[in-house]
Amino acid sequence: MFYGTELNSRLMLGTAQYPSPQVLRDAITASGTEVITVSLRREGQGGDAFREILRDSGCRILPNTAGCHSVREAVTTAQMARELFDTSWIKLEVIGHADTLQPDPFALVEAARILCADGFEVFPYTTEDLIVGERLLEAGCRVLMPWGAPIGSGQGLRNIEGLRTMRTHFAGVPLVIDAGIGAPSQAMAAMEMGFDAVLLNTAVAKALDPVAMARAFGRAVTAGRAAYAAGLMPRRDMAAASTPIFGQAVLA
């Protein structure tokens, strides 16, 4: 549940870089997603066909501040998004490093504090840093979106132990893996760790068959969550026989 909204699908899908509006439309349907992210820059370039897809998708729109590098720029973009999409939801990105697209933690917390005070329901794109996470919650965020790896890299969950620690530390907070996911198996792994959802874009949009890939991700996220809920067996350092010794035949 995110800000009081309960969703059936735990996959969130981006809407950029698709080869055509029809492919985007079909990928959204195939994925089963109920939340799609939209950048104001993308919306501005997409024209009527793109706006029609957003309107007809039946999905919740999560605008984002992609490409913003300062507090002022992010806040202004969020305010424009609220007017344009008529939603208080905002995925907050404040980029601090040009090569890795790593978020600027100081600007991120400041922008989150301003937006939360202004009535926004903020989904902050952050790292697995626990202190930054704490500061974002103190600022008013009720969701955290740690990266799996740099945006568009497809590296998957690059710091598994750090993400496990974050999941344990913020046990009651919805956590969404955002960025870096390149394969359905990586999304499934995130869900098996207990994360609440996965947000991705490039892995679907740039696939040879985006529609088939969207469907694969939808199934992977569902399977991963089901496995987590069922209770995964603990890892062992040594082998453990599944067949008991007692009852075996004794050969003289």
Binding residues for 1-deoxy-D-xylulose 5-phosphate: 152, 179-180, 201-202
Classified as helix, coil or strand, 64 is strand
Axis-axis angle for helices 130-139, 160-169 (nearest 10): 40
Report the distance separating Cα 73 and Cα 101, nearest Å: 16
DSSP states along 90-108? EEE--B--TTT--B-HHHH
Catalytic residue, from 91, 167, 215, 225: name it.
91
Report the distance separating Cα 129 and Cα 242, nearest Å: 40
Report the distance separating Cα 102 and Cα 111, nearest Å: 16
First to last CA, the chain: 63
- Can 206 be counted among the known catalytic residues? no
Report the distance separating Cα 167 and Cα 48, nearest Å: 40
Contact by Cβ (8 Å): 13, 31: yes
Q: Give me the active site residues, please.
A: 91
